[in-house]
Structure formats: structure tokens, C-alpha cells
Amino acid sequence: MTAPEPGDAVGLHAEALLTDRCAAVYVAGELDLGTAEQLVQIVRMCLAHHPDLLRVDVSELSFCDWYGLKTLLALNLEARRYGTVLTLSGAVRPQLARLIAATGASDVLPVSGVRATGVSACGPALRGPCPAPASPPTAPNCASNPPSDRRPAALPARAVA
């Protein structure tokens, strides 16, 4: 077994933003048997705050095998027990789209706000995935890792019409 080359997408990076009504989990890298538990842990931390909506942004997910899909389906069931709606968001890469289609998982695992360009109804997939609360978030960030420079430190304020 050789060491991975620098820059290779190895493992999974997951972080989350949480408001009083919504949680957004961003995943990047590979979701498989070796990395699924990391996603399970961060989603469970978010579910403990009972959000109404939990969006899992998969636009930076470079690989997902059957075990990764099984994990997403199990987390969807767990979210339902909490009264939370779990959806996949972001631009679903072709490999994951084929896996979802081949297994019929699209009937159970909703994919929301995805367009061919990777732009959701509320802006780019990596920005503002949840509606901002009327007041500042009261719940802590449920990320196990500090936010990266590619993610917003806080959700943008709601536009006033």
C-alpha cells in the first residue's frame, strides 16, 4: 500500500452550520465504509438541536459507494424520527446520481434545489443553504472542525423586500 499523493481526495471532511430552525452539513471527499461514521456523528450532533430542516450539501462529494448511500438513507430515517426533513442539496455528481437512480433511493431520499449549474433556489450551493433566522442563531455551530475559509462563518441576513 502506497501513501496517497498530496492533493488526493482521501477521507471525508464534514462541517455544519446550525440555526434555530435549520442545519446545513457540508461534505467533501469520499463517503464510504471507512468515512461514514464521521458523517453520522456530525448529523447526530445537529439532530440533537431538533432543526426543522437538515440539508446535506453533496456538491463536493467526490465519491460515494453503496455503504455511503446506505448511511445517507439511515440518516434520513433517523432525521424523520426527530421530526426533521433531511434533503440532499448542491450539485449531485454523476457517480452519486447514478447510484441513487440505480437503487431507487430517489423515492426515499429527497434532492432539493439542484440545478445543472449547481445553484440552488437560495443561491450557490456553497452559500446560504438555510433561511436565516429573524434573530442571531442561539444554538452553537455543531461542526466538529472549525469552519474553513470556503464556508460562511455565519448565515447571511434575510433580504428585506
User: Which of the residue ranges 6-15, 62-71, 152-161 would you say has the lowest mean pLDDT?
Assistant: 152-161
**Count of structural domains, the chain:** 1
Give the whole-angstrom CA distance, residue 125 versus residue 113.
9
User: Does residue 116 carry a pLDDT above 90?
Assistant: no
Instruction: Tell whether 23 is covered by a domain.
Output: yes
Query: Residues 39-64: what's their mean pLDDT?
Result: 96
The letter for the amino acid at 146 is P
The percentage of residues in the chain with a pLDDT greater than 90, rounded to a whole number, is 58
- The answer to whether 105 touches 69, Cβ cutoff 8 Å, is yes
User: Which of the residue ranges 8-12, 34-38, 83-87 would you say has the lowest mean pLDDT?
Assistant: 8-12
Instruction: Tell whether 75 is covered by a domain.
Output: yes
Give the whole-angstrom CA distance, residue 60 versus residue 90.
8
pLDDT band at 111 (very low <50, low <70, confident <90, very high): confident
Query: Residues 56-64: what's their mean pLDDT?
Result: 96
Instruction: Tell whether 32 is covered by a domain.
Output: yes
Instruction: Tell whether 122 is covered by a domain.
Output: no
Query: Residues 11-17: what's their mean pLDDT?
Result: 94
Quote the domain boundaries for residue 107.
Answer: 12-114
User: Does residue 130 carry a pLDDT above 60?
Assistant: no
Instruction: Tell whether 151 is covered by a domain.
Output: no
Instruction: Tell whether 133 is covered by a domain.
Output: no
Instruction: Tell whether 34 is covered by a domain.
Output: yes
Give the whole-angstrom CA distance, residue 54 versus residue 110.
11
User: Does residue 6 carry a pLDDT above 80?
Assistant: no
CA-CA distances (angstroms) from residue 84 to 2, 43, 49, 156? 42, 11, 10, 22
Query: Residues 66-70: what's their mean pLDDT?
Result: 97
The percentage of residues in the chain with a pLDDT greater than 70, rounded to a whole number, is 63
The CATH number given to whatever domain includes residue 100 is: 3.30.750.24
Which is more confident, 55 or 120? Answer: 55
Query: Residues 71-78: what's their mean pLDDT?
Result: 97
Give the whole-angstrom CA distance, residue 113 versus residue 126.
12
User: Does residue 107 carry a pLDDT above 60?
Assistant: yes
User: Does residue 33 carry a pLDDT above 60?
Assistant: yes
Nearest to 154 by CA among 19, 47, 43: 19
Instruction: Tell whether 128 is covered by a domain.
Output: no
pLDDT at 10: 66
Which is more confident, 51 or 136? Answer: 51
